[in-house]
Amino acid sequence: MVVTERAQISDRGIEGLPALVVEVLSPSTEAHDRTVKARRCAALGLRHYWVVDPATRRLECYRESAGQYALVIQGEGDKRVTHEDWPGLTISLGDRWR
């Protein structure tokens, strides 16, 4: 998870919604993470929910809109991904799989 406001970090943990949650899939929880967990996060108003699938070497970046997620950008293999909501951040996916 990514928090952009220092004030959200307390001794108890993260207070309020993070700016981004990155879910790394495992075969045993993939269906749950893509459905139940994603719906819960969207209903809470979590703006960004990203899914990393190591098995397919794929990154999917979703943005919340009207209580559900829409795919904004995706990449796989060795591609580089730049998300419009995170200026200056480019992810070299090939580096993630090594």
Domains of the chain: 6-97 (3.90.1570.10)
Mean pLDDT, the chain, whole residue set: 92
Report yes or no: 85 and 79 within 8 Å, Cβ to Cβ: no
Does the pLDDT of residue 66 top 90, yes or no?
no
Smallest CA-to-CA distance from 79 within 70, 90, 88 is with: 90
Using DSSP's 3-state secondary structure scheme, residue 34 falls into helix
Residue 18, phi then psi, degrees to nearest 5 = -75, 165
Report, as an integer, the average pLDDT of 6-13.
Answer: 90
Cα–Cα distance, 55 to 85 (Å, whole number): 26
Report, as an integer, the average pLDDT of 57-70.
Answer: 93
The whole model's pTM is what?
A: 0.88
Does the pLDDT of residue 60 top 90, yes or no?
yes
Q: CA-CA-CA-CA torsion for 95, 88, 81, 46, nearest 10 degrees?
A: 110
Amino acid 32: pLDDT = 93
